Structure 1
Amino acid sequence: MNTKRIVLLSLFIALSAVLSNIKIVYSIAFDSLPAFLAAIILSPIAGGIVGALGHLLTAFTSGFPFTIPVHLFIALQMLVIVWIFGVLFKKINKYIAIIVAIILNGPVATILSGLLIAYLNHSFTFKTVSSFFMLMVVPLTLASAVNIVLAFILQKVMKRANFKI
């Protein structure tokens, strides 16, 4: 990585920190927008790093509502989801990347997090997992869609403005 890329990565992390304070519901915020944008502009792994750190910043400013271990797991999920998005965006198709990322960051991440929460709380029942899923899936999926689509729009605007790295 050259100096310009390191500065841009730092900028995306800082932007994620600022946007982590704009909560949609619970600990769901706009922190992942810079991550998805970084995955497009810098690299999938850079975007993943921003996504993981952004989630931890949002969880921190929310008081880690699902416990620190759960939020560390969600940060790992964000790293992987944003990385997959970046790879699909660059190598397969940008619209497929958007759809896959929304599904992964919405329903898939919700069910995986619900399973972990139920396990850690020693209440591993269908009712516990399904209750968490029903509570979180709609706001998380909608927030994911907004973050990802806004990142896509921003990269198009930046491309038209001849933003180069």
Structure 2
Amino acid sequence: MPELNFNQQIKPVRNNLTKTAFLSRVAVLLALSLVGSYLKLPSPIGSIALDSLAGYLGVIIIGPGVGALILALGHLFSALGGGFVLGPFHFLIALLMAFCGFIFSLLLKYNVFLAVVVTAFCNGVLAIAILIPFFGLGFFTALTLSLTAAAIVNLLLAVVISNFLREKINNA
């Protein structure tokens, strides 16, 4: 069983993947994101779920571009399953999720713990703070705790799963 070390550096393993292997991994992660979008977490709105787990895993396993795309699409899957309660603002949130994926990727090069903490803050606090002019401070206050908790769960699960998959992925 691999040891979980939050002070390590994580690098994407996409070295010499064939197009087929690359597309297969992307497809599996998109499917996992879709499944995760149906695993809702308690929140005032219906779009907080485990959809970003696959995106953050994609950032770790494949790289920031693909991971960011999966994060954005995962949010849209989740929003669609929750009734698109925020309307077109879900597209802005999808872009913010992609941005969180890039932040996560940059910080993974230095420290996993730092990457999880800063990305959870970006996802759970900053992304909602951007929406204050549109929805008000009450919206921010109501969502911050549940969204930050969901971000931490998604990020930690991605890190733990990637540690278990790392050896198998490198050998594939």
Q: What's the TM-score, normalizing by structure 2?
A: 0.83
Q: State how far apart, in whole Å, the 2-side matches of 1:96 and 1:14 are.
A: 28
SS class of match (1:82)? helix
Q: State how far apart, in whole Å, the 2-side matches of 1:76 and 1:92 are.
A: 24
2:120 aligned with 1:102, yes or no?
Answer: yes
Q: State how far apart, in whole Å, the 2-side matches of 1:33 and 1:106 are.
A: 14
Q: State how far apart, in whole Å, the 2-side matches of 1:132 and 1:107 are.
A: 12
Q: State how far apart, in whole Å, the 1-side matches of 2:74 and 2:57 are.
A: 13
Q: State how far apart, in whole Å, the 1-side matches of 2:57 and 2:49 are.
A: 15
SS class of match (2:104)? helix
The counterpart of 2:40, out of the listed 5, 14, 23, is: 23
User: Pairwise mapping of residues 36-51 of structure 1 onto structure 2 (< 5 A)?
Assistant: 36-51=56-71
The counterpart of 1:57, out of the listed 54, 63, 77, is: 77
User: Pairwise mapping of residues 83-94 of structure 1 onto structure 2 (< 5 A)?
Assistant: 83-89=102-108, 91-94=109-112
Q: State how far apart, in whole Å, the 1-side matches of 2:47 and 2:132 are.
A: 14
User: Pairwise mapping of residues 117-156 of structure 1 onto structure 2 (< 5 A)?
Assistant: 117-118=134-135, 129-156=136-163
- AA of the residue aligned to 2:79: A
Q: State how far apart, in whole Å, the 1-side matches of 2:38 and 2:131 are.
A: 22
Q: State how far apart, in whole Å, the 2-side matches of 1:3 and 1:9 are.
A: 10
Q: What's the TM-score, normalizing by structure 1?
A: 0.87
The counterpart of 1:157, out of the listed 158, 161, 164, is: 164
RMSD value, Cα: 1.3
Q: Considering fraction of residues, name the structure with more helix.
A: 1
Between the two proteins, the alignment pairs up a number of residues equal to 151
Q: Which residue of 2 aligns with 1:125?
A: none
Q: State how far apart, in whole Å, the 1-side matches of 2:81 and 2:158 are.
A: 22
**Residues 71-80 or 2-11, more deviating:** 2-11
- AA of the residue aligned to 2:60: I
Shift in Å, 1:84: 1.5
Q: State how far apart, in whole Å, the 1-side matches of 2:141 and 2:127 are.
A: 13
**Structure 1 unaligned regions, length at least 5:** 119-128
**Structure 2 unaligned regions, length at least 5:** 1-17
2:52 aligned with 1:32, yes or no?
Answer: yes
